[in-house]
Every structure is written in C-alpha cells, then in structure tokens.
Amino acid sequence: MAELHIIGQLQSASDFNDPNSLFCRYSFQTGPNWTLISGFSEGQTASGKENFKNSVEWVHPLDLHYVCKGIQGWPKIILQVSCLDSIGRSWVVGYGCCALPSTPGYHTIKVPCWVPAATTVTERLKQYFIGGGHELTQTDIINLGSDRFKLITQSRGEIKLNICIVLRNLTQFGVEYK
C-alpha cells in the first residue's frame, strides 16, 4: 500500500490588513482512493493579531498519514481565514485552496486568499462600520473550478504553509513523482 506523510505547520497569514484577530480553519480533501490513517484532516488554529509586518503567526502543527490505492485525488488543503473582533464576533475574511506538493521534501507554499466582495455601496458601508461579510454557502467552490467565474471577490492576503512530504511505496506501483 502506498503511503503519504504530511508533516509541517500552518505557519502564518500576511497582508490581510485586518485590525481584528485572525484564525484559520483548515481541511484536507482527497479523492476516494485515499484513506486517512492517522492525524486530523480538519482543524483550527489559534487566533492572533497582525504584527508590525502585517503577519499573524500561527505555527499550527500538521501531521497526517494517508494510504492510497490510486493517484487520483491527490490531497488538497482548503483554508478559511476568519477574524474575531473585540466583542467576540467572527466572520470569514479569506478563502484559499492549494494542492499539496507531490515531490518528497520540504516545501514552503504561499496560498493566496480571497473573499466574496461587497457588490453595492450599502454593503460596503455596512461592512466598514458594522463588520461582517459575505460567506460561501457551498464551500465546494473553493476547491472546484466550475461555477467559480460567477463570483466577484476581493483579494486578501496570503497564508504560508511549511510542509514536509514523505512518500512511501509509490514507486512500487510505477509512480514517478520526481
């Protein structure tokens, strides 16, 4: 059985320019050929405010172990950055998606984030003074390309991932990844 280890950390978010604290929910998504043996495919980081470099450091550990019986559906990570204001309200300030590297070794990945934009002046004023924002009702859009062109989004910051990929037994099945 071929195996994949994902070891690393959800390092930081930068350039979100949000005065509130930021935290990130993450989820690993795979195809039907993949089975998670150990680790958690979903999780949430701690919340933190941006430092003087406009960066929130989470350093949230990731450790997952997958077995697979086919290459189709290589794991992807889906990220959802939310803010937490001073009175305990939270809303989404960024969505992001990234396919995980297929070569073994250490990788630094920067995932650009976006959020559905306010399309009217009223909404914009409301978001500026009251807070809140639009959220996706169907989160499949984050990782699927279809129907995404209908969205008007606002670009937000980037999330930095430091990940080590360890592959095992894939070459037995004729897989070339390097």
Partner 1 sequence: MHEFKKHNKTMGVYWLKQYLKDTLICIKLKSREEIITLPNFEEYKDKSYEEHLHVLDKNKISEYTFKWQEKVFSSYELQKYSDAYNCSSETEIKYHDMIKDTNVKSNKVFTYIDEDYHLPLPIAEKGNYKPYGVLNLKNCFAKLHLGDMNDNVSHSMGHLFKSQDHISDNDQWMAMHIVLDNSEYNEESQILFKQEFNLLSLYHNVTHNYLMVSPDVNNLELKPYSVEDGDNILPMEYGVEINFEEKENGEDLKHLLNNLFKKWDKKQQQLLNFVMPRLGMKNVFVTFEIVSAFGFEMDNLYIDFQIKIPDDITVKGDLKGRTHVSKSSRREDKKFWGYGHVVELELEYATGMDLNPLKIILETISVDWWGRHRTEGYSCLTLSLEPGEHRHDLSCSRSEELDKVEAESRRFFVGGCHLIKDLDVLINPQLYEAKFRYVSTGSVAVRWRVVCQRRRAHADVHAHTQPHAHAQSLLAGAEAVLRHYKKAKATLAAATECLPTQLEQ
DSSP annotation of 99: E
Return the CA Rg of the chain: 18
Residues 36-65 that bind partner 1 (CB under 8 A): none
Instruction: Number of residues interacting with partner 1: please give it, by CB under 8 A.
Output: 47
Specify the stretch interacting with partner 1 by CB under 8 A; choose among 43-51, 56-64, 98-106, 127-135: 98-106
| Cβ atoms 44, 24 nearer than 8 A | yes
**Distance, CA of 165 to CA of 96 (rounded, Å):** 20
Residues 158-177 that bind partner 1 (CB under 8 A): 158, 171-177
Contact status: 113 vs partner 1 (CB under 8 A)? yes
**Distance, CA of 35 to CA of 41 (rounded, Å):** 11
Q: Please report how close the Cβ of residue 50 comes to partner 1 at its closest, in angstroms.
A: 14
3-state secondary structure of 132: coil
Contact status: 155 vs partner 1 (CB under 8 A)? yes
Q: Please report how close the Cβ of residue 96 comes to partner 1 at its closest, in angstroms.
A: 5
Q: Which of 75, 79, 65, 62 is nearest to 9 (CA)?
A: 62
Among 15, 57, 85, 123, binds partner 1 (CB under 8 A): 15
Among 83, 97, 161, 163, binds partner 1 (CB under 8 A): 97
DSSP annotation of 69: S
Among 25, 76, 126, 168, binds partner 1 (CB under 8 A): 76
